[in-house]
Amino acid sequence: MKSIILGIDPGLSFTGYAIIAYEKPKIELLTIGTMELGKTDKETHEKLSIIYQRIYQFIKEYQINAFAIESPFYGKNIQIAIKMGRTQGVCMAAAIAHQVPIYDYAPRKVKQSITGKGNASKEMVAGMLQNIFKTPFDNHFLDATDALSVAVCHAFQIANPIMGKSKSSWKNFIEQNPDRIKKN
């Protein structure tokens, strides 16, 4: 079954977005970009409204059936955290309005799924995405490639749903992998 995944890197000034089509094993980039609202004189609620409307339109236009968003990281500046939470909330509200399932990924998980390293730089992630999609991405496009990495991370989770889940015991491992047990 083909998944149309919208990946979002939320930010009040710059919100990255990417839409991919995934049908194992093929991933196709449909669109990618950044909503740049940082240099406008708009109030916060106006920016949030613009972000909501654009995401709502993407979901409708591309018939999105999976919404992947990067979860906020915890920083020292509470004002930035509040703005990030508001932005994430309106993004998620657009998905909820269309009854699209929401998948939330920690930045470390996203980086690890793309590069194999949870502490990879944005540039390293963008470089790996260039290899996957055979498309050059400019370094000023990093919010967009962050969104793409979230969408690709979700596609990888669809491909291997137990990836990243720990097996707390040998019993769980055996239950999840009966074909790997040799019987004498």
> Over the stretch 91-140, which tens digit does the pLDDT of each residue have?
999 999 999 999 999 999 999 999 999 999 989 999 999 999 999 887 77
**Is 43 an active-site residue?**
no
Which of the following is catalytic: 23, 123, 143, 146? 143
In sequence order, what are the residues at sequence separation of 6 or more whose Cβ sits closer than 8 angstroms to the Cβ of residue 173?
A: 167
Mean of per-residue pLDDT scores for the chain? 88
SS3 114: helix
Q: Which position among 28, 61, 70, 175 bears the catalytic label?
A: 70
Q: Note if 70 is an active site residue.
A: yes
Q: Which of 9, 61, 146, 179 is catalytic?
A: 9
Provide the pLDDT confidence category of residue 164 given band limits of 50, 70 and 90: very low
Specify whether 23 is catalytic.
Answer: no
Confidence of residue 173 (pLDDT cuts 50, 70, 90): low
pTM of the full predicted structure?
A: 0.84
Quick check: 154 and 68 in contact, CB under 8 A? yes
CA distance linking residue 159 with residue 152, whole number of Å: 10
More confident residue, 174 or 158: 158
Number of independent structural domains in the chain:
1
| Residue bearing the bigger pLDDT, 23 or 178 | 23
- Predicted local distance difference test score (pLDDT) of residue 180: 67
Q: How is residue 84 written in tokens?
A: 């990030």
**Could you list the residue range(s) of the whole structural domain that residue 157 is in?**
3-180
CATH number at residue 38: 3.30.420.10
